[in-house]
Structure 1
Amino acid sequence: MARKAKIARKTRETEITVELNLDGRGNGDVKTPLPFFDHMLTNFARHGLFDLKIRAKGDVEVDFHHTVEDVGITLGEALKKALGNNAGIKRCGSSDVPMMDSLSTVILDISNRPYFKFSSAVSSFAIESVYSSLKKGSVEKTFDVGLMKEFMKALSNSAGLDLHITLHYGEDIHHAIESVYKALGRALGAAVTVDPRIKGVLSTKGKL
């Protein structure tokens, strides 16, 4: 059975569609108002070997937060739907990913009991400029560690992930954030892997 899902979400602030294939080839087709965010989500898909298509519109002239958080919520819903009853999956995954001056660790459990822990040695105020010239004039906006954290928290809550992220260090904020998204993809890719030895759900309780 194909492990695919398509989820649409529309609010007064955002309009988002996510298509996810867990058994893909790592093809990312992501278009949001935030080019840097697109780049991060494409890396996530590539390293997790998921096929991921995202289309998102949002009130970025107000703030990036609404769009970033709602993409996390919608992606989480797609992940949960694609997994179905979680039968046969390894459930847990972890990955350490370096990128030049940066190093990140992601450890997760598809437990259906959301919990999120984020630890960073990189300041939330360290920023990478990614978008400017918004429709209300030339206003420079930024994508920072805090926004990444909000995306991860939304994903954890929506998908039911026990998600622990450590950003150990980083000098270039681009490298630091990218190492986290790559590690997330690899950890999740490992967790959703089907093992034929696992009958039903990998839990002594018999369900998650």
Structure 2
Amino acid sequence: MTDQGQMPPFAAHIKRTTGETAVDLQLRLRGTGEANLDFPVPFLRHMLHLFAVHGRFDLTIQATGDVDVDDHHLVEDIGLSLGQALYQALGSKRGIRRYGERHTPMDETLARAVVDLSGRPAFVLQAAFPAQRVGSFPTELVAEFFKSFAYDGRFALHLAVLYGDNTHHMIEALFKAAAAALREAVSADGDAVPSTKGVLA
């Protein structure tokens, strides 16, 4: 059980290996935005680079998977591993803000992300992407990635594309908004666990 008297480590290292994927992921929540990403899903690499920069997270991922079948398993397992890293890095959650919210424009698109590091997983995405793919990346995997991230990170993540026309812009705005909202949620705010229950688990 987590010692609620300890401050969070704000860093974690996750290794996950299955018959479909292998993921080695390191996350530092209070970093400089450095990203070292090596896995065979180019569009997700691009999005997670933006995620690291706009969240000011240091993120290293080395991963392989059965992308000859499709990208689904690897995208899902990277999201899952990132969620586990977030949960581990937050530890007791003592001294964090807990909540974060950001509206982010990307040219004609506006996206919103709202985060509660509650210890209770929830995920909502309101978005209608005009295109089924961006390059070779299926846009239905955006929801799969964020759902895995939220559920294994044990936090509430509400995402919405308020308006827009370009699918790439919509997805990019979502990743940037999520990163900025998380940056706010993990930022320093006193030295207590931000809950009337005294615990966020």
The answer to whether TM tops 0.5 is: yes
CA distance in 1, matches of 2:61, 2:112: 25
1:166-185 equivalences in 2 (<5 Å): 166-185=160-179
| Counterpart amino acid of residue 128 in structure 1 | V
| Counterpart amino acid of residue 173 in structure 2 | S
CA distance in 1, matches of 2:158, 2:139: 15
Q: 1:73 aligns with which of 57, 80, 102?
A: 80
Shift in Å at residue 174 of structure 1? 1.3
Aligned to 1:133: none
SS in 2 for 1:122: coil
Aligned to 1:38: 45
Asked whether the equivalents of residues 13 and 58 of structure 1 are also in contact (C-alpha less than 8 Å), the reply is yes
State the percentage of identical aligned residues: 43
CA distance in 1, matches of 2:79, 2:90: 17
CA distance in 1, matches of 2:129, 2:163: 6
SS in 1 for 2:140: helix
| Counterpart amino acid of residue 3 in structure 1 | F
Shift in Å at residue 29 of structure 1? 1.1
| Counterpart amino acid of residue 201 in structure 1 | V
Shift in Å at residue 61 of structure 1? 0.7
1:108-127 equivalences in 2 (<5 Å): 108-123=115-130, 125-127=131-133
Aligned to 1:10: 17
Shift in Å at residue 171 of structure 1? 2.0
Aligned to 1:162: 156
CA distance in 2, matches of 1:112, 1:195: 18
| Counterpart amino acid of residue 20 in structure 2 | E
Shift in Å at residue 200 of structure 1? 2.4
Matched, 1:146 2:144: no
CA distance in 2, matches of 1:168, 1:60: 32
Output the aligned Cα RMSD: 1.2
Aligned to 1:54: 61
| Counterpart amino acid of residue 182 in structure 2 | L
- 5+ residue gaps, structure 1: 130-141
Q: TM-score scaled to structure 2, two decimals?
A: 0.92
CA distance in 2, matches of 1:167, 1:111: 23
Instruction: Give the number of aligned pairs.
Output: 193
CA distance in 2, matches of 1:200, 1:82: 17
Q: Deviations over 1:125-169 (max 9, x none)?
A: 53211xxxxxxxxxxxx3233101100000010001111000122
Q: Deviations over 1:112-137 (max 9, x none)?
A: 100111101324x53211xxxxxxxx
Asked whether the equivalents of residues 30 and 54 of structure 1 are also in contact (C-alpha less than 8 Å), the reply is yes
